[in-house]
A and B are shown apart, each in its own frame.
Chain A
Amino acid sequence: MNTFQLNISSPDGKLFSGEAAELILRGAEGDLAVLAGHVPFITTVKPGEVRVILPDGSTRVGHARSGLLTVAHEGVTLLGDFSWD
């Protein structure tokens, strides 16, 4: 399975840093999933559930209240008001 580097940070500190297989969240124009090799992309995050699917198939669920998602070739960054459930 292809994975990508994912970083999640909130003003309180870094909450996740590592490889992920998939990231599902609510973007400005609807729900979206990010997989490895996604085109460079910037959007705002709407309040809602955030799911991170790890390379081993397990899922971590969190909640975002607001934020900014940046998808670049180097990796994916989610910055904002975020916490794990």
Chain B
Amino acid sequence: MGYNTKALKNRIRSVNSTLHLTRAMGLVASSKMRRANESMNSGRQYAAAFGSVMDLLTACPDCIHSPYMRPTEGKRVCLVVIAGDRGLAGGYNANVFRLTESMPREKVIPIGKRACDRYHGEFASSERYTGAQASELARELCRAFLAGEYDRVGIVSTRYVSMMTQEAQLTWLLPLERTEGRENATVDAVFEPDETSILNTAVPDYVAGVLMRCIRESFACEVAARRMAMDSAGKNAQTMIDNLQIKYNRARQGAITQEITEIVAGSGS
């Protein structure tokens, strides 16, 4: 019995340190949550503001001839895959990779350490991705698209539904598509120099905006997912400790009872 109680005690101690770890990671995630949410919202606003102007432009009859709106049948797809820098975030990274694997893809541009490890890309942090990096990547994507290296460019990221729910999603960046129901919309605005030139010049900035929105949103998802995962891991660890503690108490009591029985039996004889 002596050995058994010792092993149980060690086990309890190790689970306890895991519990501390999950708690600490949960707290870190909680403290990052607010900032991540704020930057997600500013990214969303920027992309939405840009998107509404792009809707106007793509609805113009002339813009159908823009090289960014060429219809595509080809299968050469370039995907920007946005995952986290770290693991231990529940199914966050796995969901992104599963969606990526299900898509036909010729080239993958990974963002986030996990994605870079998996797709052997140049390292880019998803937490500290800057607007300048996004602009550079956007320009490169637009150049490659115009040069005909890819037929479609998309982003695999995670959509933030709520603290509890996040889902992997695929957003098509290029070619631009005309928003339904806007075909006959007329705008009483002056375009300088003209709709098509504005569209062609603005696309890289628009792509950078959408990239940034997806990265920020994915980061908020990562933090939320980690908080949830750490929460449930902490709960599980606590249940485990409780069960082990009961086992330990029983073993200890058993050992004492046995000792007493032995002493009583010894004195009786």
Instruction: Report A's interface with B, CB cutoff 8 A.
Output: 7, 9-14, 27-29, 39-44, 65-68, 70-72, 77, 79-81
Binding site for A on B (CB under 8 A): 39, 42-43, 45-46, 49-50, 53, 56-57, 130-132, 134-135, 187-193, 197-198, 201-202, 204-205, 208-209, 211-212
Inter-subunit contact B205/A80 (CB<8 Å): yes
Quick check: B212 and A12 within 8 Å, CB to CB? yes
Contact partner, B205, options A14, A40, A41, A68, Cβ 8 Å: A68
A8–B39 CA distance with the chains assembled, in angstroms: 16
* B192 partner, pick from A27, A67, A77, beta carbons under 8 A: A27
Give the distance in Å from the alpha carbon of A43 to the alpha carbon of B197 in the complex. 9
What is the CA–CA distance of A43 and B201 in the complex, to the nearest angstrom? Answer: 10
Closest-CB distance, B92 to chain A (whole angstroms): 23
Cα–Cα, bound, A9→B212 (Å): 12
Contact at A44–B188, with CB atoms within 8 Å? no
Find chain B residues with CB under 8 A from A43 CB: 191-193, 198
* Neighbour of B190 across the interface among A42, A67, A77, CB < 8 A: A42
Query: Chain A's nearest CB lies how many Å from the CB of B44?
Result: 11
- How far does the alpha carbon of A12 sit from the alpha carbon of B50 in the complex, in Å? 14
Q: How far is the CB of A84 from chain B (nearest CB, A)?
A: 14
Collect the chain A residues with CB atoms within 8 Å of residue B53's CB: 42, 68, 70, 79
In addition to A39-B190, A40-B189, A43-B198, 12 A-B residue pairs with Cβ atoms within 8 Å of each other are A9-B45, A11-B212, A12-B212, A28-B197, A42-B56, A42-B57, A42-B192, A67-B202, A68-B50, A68-B198, A68-B202, A80-B205
* Interface of chain A, main secondary structure: strand
User: Which residues of the other chain, A, contact B201 by a CB distance below 8 angstroms?
Assistant: 28, 44, 66
Do the beta carbons of B192 and A81 come within 8 Å of each other? no
CA A20 – CA B226 in complex, angstroms? 42
Contacts of A70 in B (CB 8 A): 53
Contact B191 A81 (CB under 8 A): no
If the complex has contacts A28-B193, A70-B53, are A44 and B198 also in contact, measured as CB distance less than 8 A? Answer: yes
Q: Are A44 and B50 in contact (CB under 8 A)?
A: no
Query: In the bound complex, how far is the Cα of B158 from the Cα of A71, in angstroms?
Result: 33
CB pair A11–B134 under 8 Å, yes or no, is yes
Kindly list chain B residues whose C-beta atoms are within 8 Å of the C-beta of A27. 192
Report A66 CB to chain B, min CB distance, Å. 6
Out of B50, B188, B198, name the residue touching A79 (CB < 8 Å).
B50
Cross-interface CB contact of B131 among A11, A39, A68, cutoff 8 Å: A11
Could you list 24 A-B pairs, sorted by A, with CB under 8 Å? A10-B46, A11-B46, A11-B131, A11-B212, A12-B212, A13-B39, A28-B193, A28-B197, A28-B198, A29-B192, A42-B53, A42-B56, A42-B189, A42-B190, A42-B191, A42-B198, A67-B205, A70-B53, A72-B189, A79-B53, A79-B209, A81-B131, A81-B132, A81-B208
Q: Which of chain A's residues has its CB closest to B212's CB?
A: A11
**Top-7 shortest CB links A-B:** A40-B189, A11-B212, A11-B131, A12-B131, A13-B42, A43-B192, A44-B201
Name, among A11, A13, A14, A72, the residue most crowded by chain B CB atoms within 10 Å (CB to CB). Answer: A11
- Nearest-CB residue, chain A, relative to B132: A81
Residues from chain A with a CB closer than 8 A to the CB of B209 are 11, 79
